């Protein structure tokens, strides 16, 4: 026997699916704490790695403030046309050394698809003070 689903239940289910599909920036900010030792996302300040402010849509290896510090592999990837869109960021965050062999990032990657989607949502969001 089929039971009717209330509108409230449908809303909650749809909201949960939308958050997963597009990621949740607030959760992504928490996951990004793992990256903060080397990267800044709320400002254009470089650390050990380049700042990630505005990284979504940016060509790999192209942050001018970090130009002299990129690995040759990252410079070559950018010169070959690698742009940090959602698909490329997803692959890179999952396995940085596979996506750009020879890059200098020591981080081995995120294992959770949810964490990756959430970090990307955070990187896409406007920085909050």
Residue at 41 is within a domain: yes
Residue at 6 is within a domain: no
Assign residue 113 the CATH number of its domain. 1.10.760.10
Query: pTM for the complete prediction?
Result: 0.81
Residue at 86 is within a domain: yes
Residue at 11 is within a domain: no
Query: Is pLDDT at 6 greater than 50 in this prediction?
Result: no
Residue at 3 is within a domain: no
Per-residue pLDDT averaged across 57-67, rounded? 97
Domains held by the chain: number? 1
What is the DSSP track for the chain? Answer: ---PPPHHHHHHHHHHHHHHHH--HHHHHHHHTTTTTT--SSSS---SS---TT-TTPBTT--GGGGGGS-HHHHHHHHTT-B--HHHHHHHHH-HHHHSTT----------HHHHHHHHHHHHSPP--
Which of the four pLDDT bands, split at 50, 70 and 90, describes residue 128? Answer: low
Q: Where in the sequence is the domain holding 71, given as residue range(s)? A: 24-124
Per-residue pLDDT averaged across 5-28, rounded? 59
């Amino acid at each position: 026997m089929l039971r009717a689903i209330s509108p409230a239940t449908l809303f909650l289910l749809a909201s949960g699916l939308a958050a997963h599909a597009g990621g949740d920036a607030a959760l992504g900010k928490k996951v990004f704490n793992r990256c903060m030792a080397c990267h800044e996302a709320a400002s254009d300040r470089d650390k050990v790695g380049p700042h990630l402010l505005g990284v979504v849509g940016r060509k790999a290896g192209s942050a001018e403030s970090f130009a002299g510090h990129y690995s040759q592999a990252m410079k070559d990837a950018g010169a070959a046309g690698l742009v940090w869109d959602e698909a490329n960021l997803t692959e890179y965050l999952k396995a940085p050394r596979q996506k750009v062999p020879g890059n200098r990032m020591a981080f081995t990657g995120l294992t959770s698809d949810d964490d990756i989607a959430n970090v990307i949502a955070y990187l896409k969001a406007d920085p909050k003070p």
